[in-house]
Structures are given as C-alpha cells and as structure tokens.
Amino acid sequence: MEKLITPFRFQPKTDGRSLLTDETRPIQLETLDLDVYYGEKHAIKQVNLPLYQNTVTALIGPSGCGKSTFLRCLNRMNDMIPGTRVMGKILVEGVNINDSRINVTQLRRQIGMVFQRPNPFAKSIYENIVFAPRLYGISKKEQEKLVEESLRKTGLWDEVKDRLHTSALALSGGQQQRLCIARAIAMKPKIILLDEPASALDPVSTGKIEELVQELKNEFTIAIVTHNMQQAARISDYTAYFYMGELIEHDRTDVLFVNPRKKETEDYLTGRFG
C-alpha cells in the first residue's frame, strides 16, 4: 500500500471482535470499536469487523440499521456530512485511516466506492475512465491501455469499444453502473465499496453486476451493502448482519444463512421482521 502516513502497529483487542477468531485469511481492513454519531444519533455502535483480502463481504440488515453509514466510514465519505463524529479505529495494513494526518484523496484512490444510482460524469466513456488517473499524470498510451483494461474487466469492452468517445449518459443504466465500477478500478484500489449497486437495475443487469463482483474479488477486496438476501447469499463469502447500529453477527455466508448463531439473525433471515 502506498504510504498514507507513517504506519504504526496497533495491538488489536481479542474480545468483542468478529466471531471469526479462527479465520486464517489475511485481513485487508478492520474496524475496531467503531462508533458513528450524527449529532445525538448513535448510528454505529462499537463495531468490530474485518474484511478479508480478496473476498466479498455483504452488509445486510433492515432499513436504517447503519449499513451505508458503516460503508461510508471505510473511505471517510462521512467526513462530508456535517455534524458526523467517527470514533474508534479503521485499520488498513496497520494504518488507522481516521488519523488526522491521513491524506484522504490518496485514501479514496485505494478504497474506491460505487453508489446505488449510476453516476457517470457527463463526459465520454473514455473520459470517465481516464479523468481521475490523468490527474496523477499518465501518458496517452497508458490511458488507452487503462481504458481497455478497465472496460474488459467489467465486461463492457465489446459493448462500447466502437463508441468510446460518445457520451456515457447514453448507456443503459446497467452499462452506466458497470462503467462506474470500471472508473473505480481504473484507480487500482485495494478495496471496493459497493452501496446497493444493483438495486436500481433490471434483473439482467443485476445478474451482470453479480457476476462481475465474483470476478473482481480475485483482484480486489469487496464490501457490498444489499437489501437482497438472495444476492448476499449468492455473491458473498462473508455476511455481516446489522441491527440498530450494532453488528449482531458476522460469519461465513454459508454458515450465517444456514445456521445463524443469534436468534435475531435467524428472525431477520426468515422474514419474521425487517
């Protein structure tokens, strides 16, 4: 990881963390005693959650439980909301990203985000991909390579290669969303945060996004907020169930869906509430 600041090593607690104490995969990011307040509203309560390298973690839970708030903390998007206080640590390779010395622009290069509604720039497909990387100075040749590589990785290349210089806004909603993912991966992040990326899309486009997420995990670590339980079960390796700002349960997806440890999780999964 490029240096955000000089890293320091933090000795994590062993209690009150995720249940996955036997997990041997490397941790890409972990939150330690994370609290978030919007003014008086305590939206995230003492959450300890790891994201394992090259895996997909689904964040699920009823509306208002804090999924998006949690996700936004992971690349400090909550900084933009006035009155928000974030406490606790979020460690990425030993660096606490909540440290005031963190270069937030660099951080967001390394932890990309894609939102619910596709939001391409009102520019050409090509420009959408190269706009940000160009700020960091890449040659014309490198730009062309990056455009093709990013569009291939998101399965868009064959669909758009003959109209790279036409407006991104003319693409379908599903294509726009894949372009937004291509734009995010063009920055070569370590982690990609997806906030309900398919909820505004039709079933075919949703299927493509799901397939894409499965492929991208070979290269990136992914956290995805979803309201769709089947989607979480299909595409994630780990699932975290939130309720009223608390992390109720975090486990391998196959375990959590088949044999949840907590009654609250079971009630949610079986549709008894939420």
Ligand X SMILES: Nc1ncnc2c1ncn2[C@@H]1O[C@H](COP(=O)(O)OP(=O)(O)OP(=O)(O)O)[C@@H](O)[C@H]1O
- Please provide residue 135's backbone torsions phi and psi, each rounded to the nearest 5 degrees: -65, -20
| Residue bearing tokens 């606790």 | 88
**Coil/strand/helix, residue 102:** coil
Asked if 232 and 60 count as a contact pair (C-beta separation under 8 A), the reply is: yes
What is the chain's percent helix, strand, coil content, to nearest 5?
Answer: 35, 25, 40
Q: Which is nearer to ligand X, 38 or 115 (CB)?
A: 38
| Distance from C-alpha of 196 to C-alpha of 227, rounded to nearest angstrom | 7
Sign for the pseudo-dihedral over CA of 46, 91, 25, 242: positive
Cα–Cα distance for residue pair 256/124, rounded to 1 Å:
43
197 touches ligand X (CB under 6 A): no
Q: Are 73 and 44 in contact (CB under 8 A)?
A: yes
Is residue 63 a contact point for ligand X (CB under 6 A)? yes
- Residue 21 binds ligand X (CB under 6 A): no
Residue 17 or 67: which CB sits closer to ligand X? 67
41 belongs to the binding site for ligand X (CB under 6 A)? yes
Residue 64 CB, shortest distance to ligand X, in Å, is: 4
Residue from the set 31, 55, 57, 68 that interacts with ligand X by CB under 6 A: 68
Stretch that binds ligand X, among 10-18, 35-43, 142-150, 260-268 (CB under 6 A): 35-43
Question: Which member of 43, 74, 147, 156 binds ligand X (CB under 6 A)?
Answer: 43
Helix (H) or strand (E) holding 36: strand 27-38
* Span near ligand X by CB under 6 A; candidates 60-68, 155-163, 247-255, 256-264: 60-68
Q: Which stretch binds ligand X (CB under 6 A): 59-67, 135-143, 201-209, 249-257?
A: 59-67
By CB under 6 A, the residues from 71 to 100 that bind ligand X are 81
117 binds ligand X (CB under 6 A): no
Residue 37 interacting with ligand X (CB under 6 A) = no
Total residues binding ligand X (CB under 6 A):
12
Question: What is the spatial distance between Cα 199 and Cα 34, in angstroms, rounded to a whole number?
Answer: 27
CB of 61 to ligand X, least distance (A): 6
Is residue 1 a contact residue for ligand X (CB under 6 A)? Answer: no
Closest separation between CB of residue 38 and ligand X, Å?
3
Closer to ligand X by Cβ: residue 52 or 242? 242
Check binding of 66 to ligand X (CB under 6 A).
yes
Given the complex with ligand X, which of 40 and 158 has the nearer CB atom? 40
Spatial distance between the Cα atoms of 65 and 70, rounded to a whole number of angstroms: 10
Residue 133, interface with ligand X (CB under 6 A)?
Answer: no
Residue 41: φ, ψ to 5°: -75, 120
| Listed residue (79, 40, 80, 81) closest to 90, CA to CA | 79
Question: What six digits make up the tokens of 48?
Answer: 């300890």
8, with CB counted inside 10 A (0-12, 13-18, 19+), is: exposed
67 touches ligand X by CB under 6 A: yes
Q: Summarize as ranges the residues that interact with ligand X (CB under 6 A).
A: 38, 41, 43, 61, 63-69, 81
